[in-house]
Amino acid sequence: MWNYRITSVWGIPIRINVSLLVFLPVLAWLIGSGEQITIYTGIINGFTPSPLDAADLRAGNTPWLVGSLAAVGLFVSVALHELGHSWAARRYGIGVDSITLWLLGGLANLETIPREWQKEFWIAIAGPAASVLVAAVAYGVVLVVPASLPVVTFVFGWLVVTNLVLTVFNLLPAFPMDGGRVLRALLARSQPYATATRTAARVGALFALGFAILGVLSFSPLLLLLALFVYGGATSESRLVALDTLLDGVTAADVMATDTERVTGDTTMADLATRMVEEGRTTYLVTGDDGTVAGIVSVDDFKRSRGKATSVEEAMDTNVPRITGETSLFDVYALMNRDRVNAAIVEADGDIQGVITSTEMTTALQIRREAGSVAPPRTAM
């Protein structure tokens, strides 16, 4: 939500979240403040052939120029970091849906999560490796920039320092950051994948607690936000892996409802409510004028549209995932969650075989839990 596409690389959409658009001017101001310029000038002078004068960089409107260029450069660096992850993922045949730049950095959204530990290790380490490469290129620029361009020298010197610091920070074993994923990959060499994830998530939670304490003591909202991100990410990943393990081996064909009923798009919501009560059903396929299935309407759609829609066509979900019977139930869950719908249509050669709703999903989970049917973990990510 609130993401804006700016370009694409290798066919991967690169988006900017509105939080970054709001934060960039603040970041530019922070970097361009006199104190920060003085501090970083001292560091950069340690490796630049042409020493910088902090007083010149702080004169007039130069701090704003320095801050703006450095802020944009930072998030270009973050994009390159995420492209490092994406390049490694694509090398393993894993698609990348998008890259999103936001307040706390970037996120590469992989189509699937690899479970072979080698794959996860190299995909995780590729991001920090890209950041080191960016730092090396920026250092090369610092070495050749003439002394008459102090702003350029400062900005690229700042990028050298920042990329190296972010590389070290990213490699902290705070799941779900890169270091946490590296930790999980190494643990998965000798442990079940779900166990390795739980261990990495616990370590991430401890780091989140540390970030929160530092945030309170230093009055840093960013550290508090980072703590929430790390804790939320670690918890969410742990739950997803547990769900994947629980549903291992279960396909859409195993749980789909085959006795599906249909309703036309021009059916009124009142008539739909009557049918639901009389037939004891909560989900119907919706057919168009040509008899083809145009979407799905469920009791949840009825509740959401009460008073807003008069016909099924106005209330139905049209962006319903269409899958095959061989699709794993976990992938079905991921698709429904991604598209924010509560049903998926199972097809074979264009013919509808059945429907999976949140009801079938919940039933399958209850049965697997009660039966204690957790399949042996696969070697992956």
Cβ-based neighbours of 337, under 8 Å, separated by 6 or more: none
Is residue 313 annotated as a catalytic residue, yes or no?
A: no
d(C-alpha 135, C-alpha 142), whole Å: 10
Q: Which residue has the tokens 């304490």?
A: 213
b/e map of 240-260 (b: 16 or more CB within 10 Å)? bbebbbbbbebbbbebbbeeb
* Alpha carbon of residue 145 to chain centroid: 37
DSSP code of residue 53: -
User: The tokens 């920070």 sit on which residue?
Assistant: 169
85 labelled ligand-binding:
yes
CA distance 297 to 25: 45
Backbone angles phi, psi at 325, to 5 degrees: -65, -20
Does residue 248 have a known ligand-binding role? no
Q: Which of 82, 237, 313, 360 is catalytic?
A: 82
Distance CA 207, CA 230 (A): 8
**What is the C-alpha to C-alpha distance for residues 95 and 88, in angstroms, rounded to an integer?**
10
Which of the residues are catalytic?
82
Pick out the residues of the known binding site for Zn(2+).
Answer: 81, 85, 178
